Amino acid sequence: FTLFVAIDPAHEILVSPDTDLGVFGKEYTGELRWFKAFYYSTIIVGAVASLSNFFRMYRERDDLVPKRQALYYILSLLVPLIG
């Protein structure tokens, strides 16, 4: 929760301005209620685009150096999610 607030405090304010828990509090019913769905859908689209880019980079190369770079790329995306 703390990391999420540090990354995007505007989202917390827009989604649920009257609770301390933000998205875990009661649902915001104002004019910008679509923002939550849009925000989370962009995360999914970004993850799908990153994974497809990784597989494209990995499968198109026969040399080991570009394959290693592709693996480093996908690891750099996964490490923040794991940590």
Domain ranges of the chain: 1-32, 33-83
Model confidence over 27-83: pLDDT tens digits? 656 666 677 778 778 878 887 887 887 788 777 777 888 788 878 877 777 776 665
pTM score: 0.45
Name which of 41, 82, 9, 31 is nearest 23 in CA terms: 9
| Number of alpha carbons in the 13 Å side-chain half-sphere of residue 21 | 5
1: pLDDT confidence band, cut at 50, 70 and 90? very low
- 58 within 8 A of 51, measured Cβ to Cβ: no
Separation CA 33–CA 4 (nearest Å): 18
Joined together, the tokens standing for residue 18 give 């009257």
